[in-house]
Amino acid sequence: MISKVNYRLNDVLIFNFFMSMWILSIPFKNAIFQGSVFFMILFFFYHLFKTKKVDILIENLKETKYLALGFLFIALSMLVSNLLNPEYLREKSWHITFMFIIRYGLIFVILAYFYKLNFFSKKQLIITISCSFILLLLTGLFQVIESPQILLGEGIKGTLDYRNAFGLSMGMAFVFSLYLLNYQRNLALILILLFVFFMIFSFSRSSWVASFSSMIVFLILHKKELKFNHLIYFLLFIVFIILLYFSFDSFQKRFHDLIDGDSSNRFQIWSYTLDFIKEKLIFGYGIDSWLSLPNTFLNGHADAHNMILEILIYTGIFGLISCLFTIGTVLIKIILTKNYFLFTAATYFIVVTQFDFGAYGSKELLSFLTIFVFFVYSESFKAVK
């Protein structure tokens, strides 16, 4: 009996180690991220083979049948678009396609499987996510200490490739901290100010807009719970933003660019992208075909800077319908479970992807989105006795 308990304890510790490494490394997309995904999958198949608990997978599938159907159609749209457009595919087109299925579809299945086995709790997941965001924040702090001039215009990016990716993570961290207000108010308030500071000085305007939109949704959803002290906190937050605004010309300039409608060529990118979409409206050009499009202007930019347009140009109407069905399924699940805070997080994901980050290849965005969808469905995965 003791050996059986120890055996289970070892399994729990092993899985939690790999899961923690995965979450902590999401913002960095490094070798640890790649390795943790591999070992989570390897351990999952090992555990499934050892315990033969296929019934858990079947039960979870029943609870997520519409979500699974939506994801299946998304994957199918990616495969079909690739097969129909070999001339536009790039070296990593098929790699991105298969890794999309593995990193997000299979990882979701793994989280649901081990959560049902009571290997980890949502509280544990929340703590690990918090540590992940704080760890990235510390890399930004180190950059500021080392090169304070980045606050004057270059923008904080920490250890990431570019400042928009850093801003994305800090924006997600800000929204996540709003959730913590219900549990650790003082800690949450400190984190909110820190994450907002670093998000602002990433100069990622898409994260600014998405965070502001999420905050408005959060206030609307919690308007009946608001008290006088909440108003004081909100006013202090506004004062904090105003002080930063008048203390840094770089902040003022980026804010004025936003208000004046400076899109950083996005309007022109969207216009050219729409022209190409019309030519292959049903199935698109295939995954990662952006740089293969015969347009030197578009080739000079990383992507379409809009989730809907990227879905259309890669997988066409078929892919867009599949994605909208899946998003709608998740939103309906939030309504049915009455976990309305998740609307705040959903707002962030929906808004930020209208200006930056792709629907298929953004590892940090899609990995956190996988965790978000797990939270949406977590109550459906009741632990087995």
- CA angle 302–273–257, rounded 5-degree value: 65
199 closest CA partner among 261, 255, 129: 255
Burial of residue 62, with CB atoms counted within 10 A of its CB: 0-12 exposed, 13-18 middle, 19 or more buried: exposed
SS3 (DSSP) at 383 = coil
Report the C-alpha gap between 355 and 210 in whole angstroms: 9
Helix (H) or strand (E) holding 313: helix 307-337
Sign of CA dihedral 40, 46, 51, 57: positive
Domain residue spans of the chain:
1-52, 53-120+266-380, 124-259
> Coil, helix or strand for 358?
coil
The total number of residues shown for the chain amounts to 385
pTM of the model: 0.92
Distance CA 54, CA 7 (A): 20
Q: Alpha-carbon distance 364 to 357, whole Å? A: 10
Residues contacting residue 9 through CB under 8 Å, at least 6 positions apart: none
CB 175 within 8 A of CB 214: yes
CA–CA gap between residue 114 and residue 145 (Å, rounded): 41
> CB neighbours of 239 closer than 8 A, spacing ≥ 6?
none
Alpha-carbon gap, residue 383 to 271, rounded angstroms: 50
For 353, phi then psi, to 5°, come to -80, -5
Question: Going along the chain, which residue ranges are E strands?
Answer: none
Residues 322 and 73: beta-carbon distance below 8 Å: yes
CA 337 to each of CA 14, 68, 80, 334, 346: distance values in angstroms, whole numbers, following the listed order = 31, 18, 34, 5, 15
pLDDT truncated to tens, each residue of the chain (385 aa)? Answer: 444 455 578 899 999 999 999 999 998 867 889 999 999 999 999 999 999 999 999 999 999 999 999 999 999 999 999 999 999 999 999 999 999 999 999 999 999 999 999 999 999 999 999 999 999 999 999 999 999 999 988 899 988 878 888 999 999 999 999 888 777 778 888 999 999 999 999 999 999 999 999 999 998 888 877 777 778 888 888 999 999 999 999 999 999 988 988 878 889 999 999 999 999 999 999 999 999 999 878 888 888 889 999 999 999 999 999 999 999 999 999 999 888 889 999 999 999 999 988 788 888 899 999 999 999 999 999 755 4
